[in-house]
Amino acid sequence: MIGFDFSKIASSLSLSFETELCEALNWDEEETEMVMKKLVEYFSVCTKSDPDIVKADLEVIFPEEVCKVVNKYLDMAALAMKEFYEKLNEGEE
C-alpha cells in the first residue's frame, strides 16, 4: 500500500467525527475534548504510514469505543488515498 501522511488527518477531523466521538463517549463533552486533544497530539507526531500499525498504536492509547470511531475515519481516508493514487497512476499510463 502506498504510504501517506497521517498527520493531515488531525487537521481535517470533521464535525461528524467529533459528534460520533462524543456519542461514543456517552455525550461527555469534556472527555471528547480531551480525546480530541490526544488524537491531535498523536497524529501531529505520527510518522507511520501503515493504517494497521496506526490502529494498533491507538488501541494501546484509547478505549475501544474511541478506536471504533477513529478506525472508521482512518479506513475512509486510506480508501480515498488509495483511489486517488490509482487514478493518478492511470493518468500516467
Indicate the number of domains in the chain.
1
Cα separation, 56 vs 82, in Å, equals 20
Q: Would residue 82 count as lying in a domain?
A: yes
Q: Would residue 20 count as lying in a domain?
A: yes
pLDDT in tens, 36-74: 999 999 989 989 888 899 999 999 999 999 999 999 988
Q: Would residue 1 count as lying in a domain?
A: no
Q: Would residue 26 count as lying in a domain?
A: yes
Q: Would residue 2 count as lying in a domain?
A: no
pTM over 0.85: no
Nearest Cα residue to 67 out of 42, 47, 48: 42
Question: Which residues constitute the domain of residue 37?
Answer: 7-92
Q: Would residue 31 count as lying in a domain?
A: yes
pLDDT in tens, 48-57: 888 899 999 9
Nearest Cα residue to 65 out of 27, 37, 91: 27
**Is the Cβ–Cβ distance between 74 and 55 less than 8 Å?**
yes
